[in-house]
Structure 1
Amino acid sequence: MTQQVRIMRGWEWARPVRPVRREVLGATPEVEEGRPPLLFVPGFGHGAWAFAEHWLGHAAGRGFPAYAVSLRGHGGSGPAPDATLRAYAHDVVQVAAGLPRQAVLVGHGAGALVVAHALARYPARAAVLVAPVLGGWGTALTALRRNPLGTLPALAGGRLRLSRSQLFSRELPEADARRHAARLGRAARRAQWQLLLGREPEPAVGEPPVLVLGSPDDRVVPAAALTRAARRYGSAPLLFPGMGHDLMLDARWREPVDAILDWLEKDPDPGRG
């Protein structure tokens, strides 16, 4: 006998998330092969542009419909100075629900935490956490130790700042690094506090397969954190030495996205979809 578990979220129903204009960029394959769409979710300060630079077109070239959403207050989405992680997860769920087929959610940095929260509300085909920043006191202490000048303002409600050396490897041309850094914005204060001090996400709906990947040389997310994140989902992290935190913009951007697409082509959970 199958037992159904219903999760009651009365507080959330009483206080629905405020609507906002959402920027969604996309690239589709020349030939439709029925593959699951990918929805890329950027981290704090980044917009959909961070995936439109390389990964969207590359994924479409390999037969996967690919989309990227700018979380509210980021990129071309509407302003949201008081946004919360719940509101960010709501944006992801709403966009994913509007795609033609069950989607694969791909979150980068703090966007991986947003995806983890969205997985409790959306039955994803699979999920990928890229250089995941999954929050909590450990994240706060690591950020303070590795980037005190950039983290302390965020604790006081200011902008969380990351340096060029944290985001990119030395292989990336300086002109490209400056161009990308110039486009960085900021997350809402409440969302930043929740990232550093917040609760863990609820269990994912349907237990989708989850791939965790990153770089052991990431100066934002230590290798031990990648291992912990992967263990949470019953796997080991896939590592790309020599790359910075922003794998999708770094000089060797093809390696991680090809690894993601290779994993999906093997159909990590053939019983879904």
Structure 2
Amino acid sequence: MRARDWAHPVRPVRREVLTATPEVDEGKPPVLFVPGFGHGAWAFAENWLEHAASRGFPAHAMSLRGHGGSGAAPEATLRAYAHDVVQVAAGLPSQAVLVGHGAGGLVVAHALARYPARAGVMVAPVLGGWGTFGTALRRNPIGTLPAIVGGRLRLSRRQLFSRELPVATARGYAGRLGRAGKRAQWQLLMQRDPEPAVGNPPVLVLGSPDDRVVPAAALRRAARRYGGAPLLFPGMGHDLMLDARWREPIDALLDWLEKIPSR
């Protein structure tokens, strides 16, 4: 029983959800992609959404409140973001797989404590804490310092993408980035460990050892939290779903899902 949820419910907001449906229903679980701070559903619609559907998975990508085509929410919190994920997942026709990228991985971790997911996947997860802030400050001081006083956290294209992605394409993607709520950014720094996942679902962590946002050590810590080891893709940037070799991680993710026994 969460008394706060009853006493202070999360304010409703319009939620953007993009969907790609397989041509033939193969009975595979729906996959819900959750973007990180600054990103919207478009980040998965570029490549991963249709690719997952082509492999038989009903695929959905959502925008957190204040992002993409979802309703404005300048005072959004991590609790509100997790609420959005749970509400969208609960509206799908069957038990969903939750896939979170970047800070969306932390949002998914909180959502897993409230929604009995088929499985969870964390893509280059930013799980919060001052260690995350210290890494960001060393690698991108100009883009990180404004976030301390409530400004926008800015990630550069060199942090997000590998050199294989054409510069014009990388600039185009970076130019579409928005911003998270000021309170959510602060909570990312002050984050405590999420509650245990409901039903103990299998959780996969994947990323790149060359990620300039999330170091390899943080990927290993995140995977250990769920009793495993990270699946790594050398030579890729933080935004694996948009980088030049985007097919490799999504195919590995879907291969993993196909091997999970029915629950």
TM-score tier after normalising by the smaller chain length:
over 0.9
Q: Distance in 2 between matches of 1:217 and 1:234?
A: 23
Quick check: 1:155 aligned with 2:148? yes
Q: Pick one of 128, 135, 142 that aligns with 1:142.
A: 135
Percent identity among equivalent residues?
84
Equivalent position SS for 1:59: helix
| Cα drift, residue 248 of structure 1 | 0.1
Quick check: 1:247 aligned with 2:203? no
* Residue equivalent to 1:40: 33
Quick check: 1:209 aligned with 2:202? yes
Q: Pick one of 166, 170, 175 that aligns with 1:173.
A: 166
Match for 1:135: what amino acid?
A: G
Quick check: 1:79 aligned with 2:96? no
Equivalent position SS for 2:94: coil
Q: Pick one of 75, 83, 86 that aligns with 1:93.
A: 86
Deviations 1:115-134 (A, max 9, x none): 00000000000000000000
* Structure 1 stretches of at least 4 aligned residues deviating more than 6 Å after TM superposition: none
Q: Distance in 1 between matches of 2:10 and 2:18?
A: 22
| Cα drift, residue 75 of structure 1 | 0.1
Deviations 1:19-42 (A, max 9, x none): 000000010100001100000000
| Cα drift, residue 106 of structure 1 | 0.2
* Residue equivalent to 1:110: 103
Quick check: 1:219 aligned with 2:212? yes
| Cα drift, residue 142 of structure 1 | 1.6
* Residue equivalent to 2:225: 232
Q: Conserved in 2, the CA contact under 8 Å of 1:140 and 1:197?
A: no
Quick check: 1:130 aligned with 2:131? no
Deviations 1:182-218 (A, max 9, x none): 1100000000000112222111001100000000000
| Cα drift, residue 271 of structure 1 | 4.3
TM-score normalised by length of structure 1: 0.95
* Residue equivalent to 1:264: 257
Q: Conserved in 2, the CA contact under 8 Å of 1:130 and 1:214?
A: yes
Q: Distance in 1 between matches of 2:189 and 2:64?
A: 18
The worse-fitting range, judged by mean Cα deviation, of 80-89 and 169-178 is: 169-178
Equivalent position SS for 2:184: helix
Q: Conserved in 2, the CA contact under 8 Å of 1:43 and 1:108?
A: yes
* Residue equivalent to 2:7: 14
| Cα drift, residue 74 of structure 1 | 0.1
What does residue range 49-68 of structure 1 map to in structure 2 within 5 Å? 49-68=42-61
* Residue equivalent to 1:200: 193
Match for 1:59: what amino acid?
A: A
Counterparts in 2 of 1:271 and 1:61: CA distance versus 1, 3 Å: closer
Structure 2's unaligned 5+ residue stretches are none
Q: Distance in 2 between matches of 1:37 and 1:24?
A: 13
Match for 1:80: what amino acid?
A: A
TM-score normalised by length of structure 2: 0.99
Structure 1's unaligned 5+ residue stretches are 1-7
Q: Distance in 2 between matches of 1:174 and 1:97?
A: 39
Equivalent position SS for 1:21: coil
| Cα drift, residue 144 of structure 1 | 1.6
Equivalent position SS for 1:72: coil
